[in-house]
Amino acid sequence: MPGYNYATYVNQIALLAVVDPADPNFVSNIPSMIEYAELRILRDLDLLVVSGSIEGYFLTVGSRQITIPMGAMVVSEQINVITPYPVSDPELGVRNPMTPTTKEYLDMVYGDSSVTGLPEYYVPFNDNLFLVGPFPDANYYVEIIGTVRPQSLSVSNPTTFISQYLPDLFTMASMIYVSGYQRNFGRQSDDPQMAQSYEQQYKILLEGAVKEEVRKKYESVGWSSMDPSPLATPTRG
C-alpha cells in the first residue's frame, strides 16, 4: 500500500522533527498534530472522497424545519425529499430534489404555514437546521448529500485516504504544526525559516493535489478529466 499507516506516519514525523517517537511530549501532541494537518488539507482541498449522504431525518406536517446533529454534515449540496412516506431509504422510494434558495425568499413566498405541499426549496439556517418551502403537507423523510468529515487517523483507525494517497501533503502540514511545537526547546528560534519552508512546500504540493481533484470531478479543461495542457488550446469539441 502507498503512503502511511499510523505507525509509519508517527515514525516519519519524529524522524523529520529529530525527536524520539516515544517522547511523552511528542506523543501527547500527536492527536493535535494530526487534527491540524487533516483539517487543513480537508479545507484546502474539495476532496471527492469526503462526499457522502445522511439519511433518517425527516419533515413533519406543520413544520418547515429539518434538524440534524451538529457536525453531521460539513457542507450541504443537495437535499432530496423521499416519497412516499414512510419510506426512508432513498433506493426504495422516489427522490424529489429541492432547490437551494434564500431565507428571504422562503419567508416571502412560503412564510405562511397554510401554504402546503411537497417541499420544493430549502435553505440552511445554521449548521444543523434547514428550512423548507412550502410547508410539508405530509410527513417525509429526507436524504442530505454533501461534504462529511471522515474519521481521523489514529491507533484504532490506522489508515485514511489522506495518509495513504496524500502522504506528502500530510507530512508538510504536520511539520508546520511541529515547527510551532518545537518552540518549546528552541528549534524554531535556531532556524526561524523552518516553519516558512514547510509552509512553502505545502503550498507547492497543494497545487498538484487541487488539479488532481478537479480532474476527478470532470471540472478540468473543457469540463473533462484531462490534465490541463498549455499547448492544447483552444480545446477540441
**Assign residue 218 a region: left if phi > 0, alpha if psi is -120 to 50, beta otherwise?**
left
Is residue 185 within 8 Å of residue 198, measured between CB atoms? Answer: no
- Quick one: CA torsion of 52, 57, 63, 64, rounded to 10 degrees? 0
By residue count, the chain amounts to 237
Model confidence at 217: pLDDT above 90: no
Q: Counting beta carbons within 10 angstroms of the beta carbon of residue 184, is it exposed (0 to 12), middle (13 to 18) or buried (19 or more)?
A: exposed
Q: Which residue has the cell 425527516?
A: 58
User: What would the mean pLDDT of 144-152 be, rounded to a whole number?
Assistant: 93
More confident residue, 190 or 219: 219
Burial state string for 33-56 with b = 16 or more CB within 10 A and e = fewer than 16? bbebbbebbbeebbbeebeeebbe
The 121-126 sheet, strands edge to edge:
65-67, 129-133, 121-126, 99-100
**What mean pLDDT, rounded, does the chain reach?**
86
**Which 3 state secondary structure label does DSSP give 84?**
coil
Q: What is the pLDDT of residues 9-31, one digit of tens each?
A: 999 999 998 899 999 999 999 99
Please tell me the predicted confidence (pLDDT) of residue 63.
96
Q: How far apart are CA 177 and CA 198, in angstroms?
A: 10
| Predicted TM-score of the model (pTM) | 0.78
Question: Pseudo-torsion of CA 96, 101, 103, 106, nearest 10°?
Answer: -60
Please give the residue that has the higher pLDDT: either 224 or 55: 55
Backbone angles phi, psi at 169, to 5 degrees: -65, -40
Percent of the chain whose predicted confidence (pLDDT) is above 90: 65
Assess contact for 69 and 63: CB atoms under 8 A: no
CA distances from 211 to 89, 207, 234 (A): 35, 6, 19
